[in-house]
């Protein structure tokens, strides 16, 4: 899922997004609650109509952003209190309020409100957050009002695998339409992410979608898919595009690099995207050097297409029964050269 934080995937239109092969988009409850507010989104006919995307959509619960972005937050059993970065107003976000906002926004999949402990965190801190996430899930289920929205639960547990396993087992008992692994990609090293996913994903119901939140570079996805993950979201393809970075066949290119100035070949000859079909590396390099907005549009189109194609190839190789051999280079966690830093 490409990330459309403020009800848009930055710099590209929904039509361009559809052409990348993306099937589902994520939007952020925290950001939309602050601006423009869920009432305006509902007034515009709900999230799909408001942003002109008629495909599947997911909203997160806002929990991750409250914990990672907001200042002066206070966590109690009731929920989280924080100061709006827009106008300084004090805002209370509770499991009930998060679900109410998501019911009003109207995405197809909504997420339970969870407490995402930071990394590093002590065992005791993670235990508190994980137990609270369970109690908050019960409140989210009770508060959920729409039968046309699927509510997914979120497994927390930090880097403590025993806590992850017990959280996964207790959440599975709720028989929700889908499950997510949260609290990863919060600063821990990649090998810890792999361990968490390997220990947790197989414990989630086999016949339900399993979603790994906030992850989405090549190797992370390949390894997570090997453990049974179905769904990802990540800002990397669009964020990197806005930094002038192209993702090409598993590599990360700074398109401003002098070697691209007179390179009149496409980014990737095998790529079917609009950018690769119509423009050269030299042209993209020129646009990035001039900070032309079109540069970020063209690079976003390519980067999203690139990552979607990567998952499409994985899907095909799973169908063919050749995933482990075709993607051996990506599944080898000792292959440091394949780990693209998310920074």
Binding-site positions read: 60-64, 114, 156, 183, 271, 273, 276, 302
Q: Does 271 bind Zn ion (CB under 5 A)?
A: yes
- Reference 96, options 139, 147, 39; nearest CA is 139
Stretch that binds Zn ion, among 22-30, 125-133, 157-165, 266-274 (CB under 5 A): 266-274
Stretch that binds Zn ion, among 52-60, 210-218, 269-277, 332-340 (CB under 5 A): 269-277
Q: How far is the CB of 44 from Zn ion (least distance, A)?
A: 32
Which residue, 34 or 273, is less far from Zn ion as judged by CB?
273
The catalytic residues are 60, 233
Q: Does 281 bind Zn ion (CB under 5 A)?
A: no
Alpha-carbon span 203 to 192, nearest angstrom: 18
Alpha-carbon span 112 to 91, nearest angstrom: 18
Residues 266/277, Cβ–Cβ less than 8 Å: yes
Count of beta carbons in the 10 Å neighbourhood of residue 186: 19
Q: Does 308 bind Zn ion (CB under 5 A)?
A: no
Q: Does 276 bind Zn ion (CB under 5 A)?
A: yes
Residues 158/117, Cβ–Cβ less than 8 Å: yes
Which residue, 308 or 331, is less far from Zn ion as judged by CB?
308
Q: Does 140 bind Zn ion (CB under 5 A)?
A: no
Sheet order of strands, 90-93 included: 74-75, 80-83, 90-93
Which residue, 48 or 302, is less far from Zn ion as judged by CB?
302
Which residue, 213 or 301, is less far from Zn ion as judged by CB?
301
Q: How far is the CB of 242 from Zn ion (least distance, A)?
A: 16
Q: How far is the CB of 239 from Zn ion (least distance, A)?
A: 17
Which helix (DSSP H) or strand (DSSP E) does residue 59 occupy? strand 57-59
Residues 104/42, Cβ–Cβ less than 8 Å: yes
- Contacts of residue 86, defined as CB under 8 A and 6 or more positions apart, other chains included, come to 34, 35
Q: Does 273 bind Zn ion (CB under 5 A)?
A: yes
Q: How far is the CB of 314 from Zn ion (least distance, A)?
A: 18
Stretch that binds Zn ion, among 53-61, 276-284, 289-297, 315-323 (CB under 5 A): 276-284
Q: Which two tokens stand for residue 208?
A: 């339900």
Among 33, 132, 144, 302, binds Zn ion (CB under 5 A): 302
The distance from CA 171 to its chain's CA centroid, rounded to whole angstroms, is 21
Q: How far is the CB of 187 from Zn ion (least distance, A)?
A: 31
Query: 71: buried, middle or exposed (CB in 10 Å: 19+, 13-18, 0-12)?
Result: exposed
The residues that touch Zn ion, with contacts defined as CB under 5 A, are: 271, 273, 275-276, 302
């Amino acid at each position: 899922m490409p990330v459309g934080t403020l009800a848009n995937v930055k710099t590209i239109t929904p039509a361009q997004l559809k052409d990348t092969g993306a099937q589902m988009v994520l939007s952020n409850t925290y950001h939309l609650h602050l601006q423009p507010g869920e009432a305006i989104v509902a007034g515009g006919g709900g999230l799909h109509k408001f942003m002109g995307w008629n495909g599947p959509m997911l909203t997160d619960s806002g929990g991750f952003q409250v914990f990672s972005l907001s200042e002066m937050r206070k966590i109690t059993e009731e929920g989280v209190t924080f100061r709006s970065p827009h106008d300084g107003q004090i805002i209370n976000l509770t499991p009930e309020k998060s679900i109410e906002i998501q019911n009003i926004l109207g995405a197809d999949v909504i997420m339970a409100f969870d407490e995402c402990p930071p990394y590093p965190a002590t065992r005791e801190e993670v235990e508190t957050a994980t137990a609270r996430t369970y109690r908050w899930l019960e409140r989210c289920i009770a508060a959920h009002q729409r039968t046309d929205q699927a509510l997914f639960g979120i497994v927390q547990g930090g880097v403590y695998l025993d806590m992850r396993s017990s959280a996964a087992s207790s959440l599975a008992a709720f028989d929700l339409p889908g499950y997510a692994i949260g609290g990863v990609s919060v600063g821990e090293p990649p090998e810890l992410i792999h361990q968490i996913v390997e220990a947790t994903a197989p414990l989630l119901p086999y016949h339900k979608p399993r979603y790994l939140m906030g992850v989405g570079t090549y190797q992370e996805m390949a390894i997570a898919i090997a453990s049974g993950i179905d769904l990802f979201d990540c800002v990397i393809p669009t964020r990197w595009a806005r930094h002038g970075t192209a993702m090409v066949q598993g590599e990360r290119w700074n398109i401003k690099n002098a070697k691209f100035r007179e390179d009149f070949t496409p980014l990737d000859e095998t790529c079917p995207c609009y950018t690769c079909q119509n423009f050269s590396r030299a042209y993209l390099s020129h646009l990035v050097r001039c900070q032309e907005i079109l540069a970020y549009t063209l690079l976003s189109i390519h980067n999203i297409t690139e990552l979607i194609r990567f998952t499409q190839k994985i899907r095909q190789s799973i169908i063919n029964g050749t995933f482990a051999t075709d993607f051996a280079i990506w599944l080898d966690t000792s292959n440091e050269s394949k780990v693209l830093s998310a920074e």
